[in-house]
Structure 1
Amino acid sequence: MKFRVDRDVFADAVAWAARSLPVRPSTPVLSGLLIEAGHEGLVLSTFDYETSARATLSAEVADEGKALVSGKLLADICRSLPAKPVEMVTDGSRVSLTCGSARFSLQTMPVEDYPTLPEMPTAAGTVKSELFAHAVAQAVTAAGRDDMLPVLTGVRLEIEGSTISLLATDRFRLSHRELEWNPATPDESLAALVPAKVLGDTAKSLTSGSEVTLALSTTGTGEGIIGFEGAAAGGVRRTTTRLLDGEFPKVRSLFPAEHLTTALVDKASLVESVKRVALVAERNTAVQMVFEDGVLTLDAGSGDEAQASESIEATMEGEGLTTGFNPQFLLDGLQAIDEQVVELAFTQAPKPVVISGKPAEGGEEPGFRYLLMPRRLLS
């Protein structure tokens, strides 16, 4: 194998492929990055039996071949290379990398021991890359992080015609995001439970091109996979990951059909107030929120400990109420909202609040809703 490639394009592709390498691989070869040089250029791949990454890029290939090297080491080396073309050549059981006057010799691993990457499923449609990345970032806000409850570490992706719905919950909060896309089949109806971390990282990494292709294969037995493909500098990037097995809870019904109290509040003012008042909140205690007579008062702290209180304006409809929330969960939801004014909608004080953005006059209705369970207030 022998090839020559642009340093920036190569370094970016290596970093992208290496980002999904396992921290503690079950076998040494899974820490490797597979480099394949052929007549179409370079293909860089990683795979840990769950998630695969495959980047293709243009290169001047003098001799075709393949090599498996440490992905983390190659990524570290590429970040430090001078702004010169990169040349790689296999030399027995080693690979030589030259960039300007910098030279590295890397030990290779046996290519024959490396697992075969899964095939990309059939394309289901395309979505604007920036829109998809932003929608996913909003949805994963409420995803669980407890591996003891693996179903809740996923995002439920539901496709119904030209609409994609993203749902996530960790039992204490729930996010729901809808967005439009271009399905390959107009009346398509699909659902998948995608690992939230992989979905978030992948959506964020595929914004170089204008569109992302979604590909889905579901078997109903947890063996399904989802694939994402997008254009990048000098080529194409493709990721697949196995779907999570298990039944995602039926959470849509948690959003109430009507509300007895609503409050419109300036988002920036509320975020800053919560941050300040929460400084004195003890761990796992709530920030109290009192809605009354067009004013929202936030309180935290109690007894002989430090206390804080702050009031901001609120445009209210309905009766006043007193409730309280985990301050970090509240901030997570507020900061995921795009609009400058947020609406907090309640049925009763002990019930969850639904937080959404208030569109400007004539603006589109927000596609993101965040439901948050209240916390017990200290007496």
Structure 2
Amino acid sequence: MKFSCEKAILQSAVLIAGRVVATKSTISALEGILVEASEDGLCLSGYNLETGIITRVEAQVTQPGSLILSARLFGEIIRKLPDDVITVSTEGNSVHITCGPTSFDIMGSPADEFPELPAVDDGSSVTLTQSALRSMLSQVLFAVSTNESRPIHTGALFEVEDTTLTLVAVDGYRLALRREPFIRKFGMNTFSFVVPGNALTEVERICADSDEEIIVTLGDRHVTFQVGQTLLVSRRLEGEFLNYRQTIPQNNPISLHVDTSMLQLSIDRASLIINDKLKSPLRCKFEDGSLAISSRTAIGSAFDRCPIAGNGQGLEIGFNNRYLMEAVKAAPAQEVRMELGTPTSPCLLLPKEGETDNFLYMILPVRLKAGE
């Protein structure tokens, strides 16, 4: 194998493919990147048996071939080479890398040791802009569960309906939902699937903040995300995802409006005396025109007041400070509607009346104790 490629192009491809490479594995090939050179250019693949990434770049290939290279070492070499054209040539498992006056000789592994990535047949698919999916993922993934006792909830639910794609994540304490229109779909009129949170984190990273398209294709056991010349393939999570529609309370008696930036500041101030060792809920009292937020731990107490539009009827309710903050930060609006019921019922963050119904965040309350 022998090829030449601009450093910036090769370095970007190595970074993309290397994102899913296993740092430690009993299968040594999984710690490497499969490099394949052909008439069509250069193809780099990384795989950890759950998520795989294949990315293609242009290169001048003078001798086709393939080899597995250590992702860590190859990546470091490429990063530290001069900004020039890099030439990679192999003889057996020996690899010679040159760039300007600099050269390296390292060992690779036979390409046939690399596990084959799963193939996904052309099934139902949905296409939307990269920027739309990127923002949806950034505003939902924080609520994905890390509890392996319910594996289905360690991923996010994709629901494709008539004209919209809905993403939902739950972890037993909160729920995050985002909805956006898509460009087009193929196959079934409605379909749904669950993708692991770790894979979706990588999807978010490879998506650009642009109107370029991303195609999500559903297979029998896997799902693919096609972004330009990069393909990410992930296993699907099997099981019954929470029927989230039944868990969202309806006809809540208290409805308020609040500025998200002002609410973030109030939560942040009241959280200053709370940490992992000194845990305490935020005590929130919704009054007429204001929200009083206080906290108390062994090192002291904090109090702040945030203006709201509406009457909270004196409702006093407790929340985990981090869960409340993450939901408020994720809401893609300068002002949100808060719906509440009782001290033991969930709080909802929704768009204002009359605005597009494109997000919903639900946070379960924490039972308050006397003196907190």
> 2:300 — aligned with what?
306
> 1:262 — aligned with what?
255
> 2:274 — aligned with what?
281
User: Which digits, 9 at most, give the CA deviation of each residue in 1:115-147, with x for residues without a partner?
Assistant: 112224326131100011101111212111123
Within 5 Å, give how 1:36-185 maps onto structure 2. Answer: 36-122=36-122, 124-185=125-186
Gaps of 5+ in 1: 219-223
- CA distance, structure 2, for counterparts of residue 101 and residue 202 of structure 1: 37
- CA distance, structure 2, for counterparts of residue 148 and residue 23 of structure 1: 24
- CA distance, structure 2, for counterparts of residue 126 and residue 295 of structure 1: 43
SS state at 1:127 partner: strand
Match for 1:365: what amino acid?
T
Within 5 Å, give how 1:216-295 maps onto structure 2. Answer: 216-218=218-220, 224-231=221-228, 236-281=229-274, 283-295=278-290
Match for 2:291: what amino acid?
L
User: Which digits, 9 at most, give the CA deviation of each residue in 1:179-222, with x for residues without a partner?
Assistant: 1113333762111110012112213312276010111113xxxx
1:373 equivalenced with 2:364 (yes/no) = yes
User: Which digits, 9 at most, give the CA deviation of each residue in 1:263-311, with x for residues without a partner?
Assistant: 2111111111111111123644210110112111010005x64011111
TM-score (norm 2): 0.94
Match for 2:92: what amino acid?
G
- CA distance, structure 1, for counterparts of residue 88 and residue 281 of structure 2: 57
> 1:203 — aligned with what?
204
2:284–2:292 CA contact under 8 A, matched in 1? yes
Taking a change above 3 Å as real, the CA distance of residues 230 and 307 of structure 1, as seen in their structure-2 partners, is: same
SS state at 2:313 partner: coil
2:288–2:312 CA contact under 8 A, matched in 1? no
User: Which digits, 9 at most, give the CA deviation of each residue in 1:72-102, with x for residues without a partner?
Assistant: 2212222222210111000232111112222
2:158–2:193 CA contact under 8 A, matched in 1? yes
Report the CA distance between 1:176 and its aligned residue.
1.0
SS state at 1:178 partner: strand
In the alignment of these two chains, the number of paired residues is 366
Give the fraction of aligned pairs with identical amino acids, expressed as a percent: 27
CA RMSD in angstroms comes to 1.8
**Could you tell me which of 316, 324, 327 is aligned with 1:330?**
324
- CA distance, structure 2, for counterparts of residue 274 and residue 170 of structure 1: 21
- CA distance, structure 1, for counterparts of residue 166 and residue 40 of structure 2: 37
Taking a change above 3 Å as real, the CA distance of residues 208 and 85 of structure 1, as seen in their structure-2 partners, is: farther
- CA distance, structure 2, for counterparts of residue 86 and residue 188 of structure 1: 48
> 1:221 — aligned with what?
none
- CA distance, structure 2, for counterparts of residue 295 and residue 162 of structure 1: 39
Gaps of 5+ in 2: none
Report the CA distance between 1:357 and its aligned residue.
3.9
- CA distance, structure 1, for counterparts of residue 345 and residue 88 of structure 2: 62
Taking a change above 3 Å as real, the CA distance of residues 118 and 187 of structure 1, as seen in their structure-2 partners, is: closer
SS state at 2:49 partner: coil
Report the CA distance between 1:257 and its aligned residue.
2.1
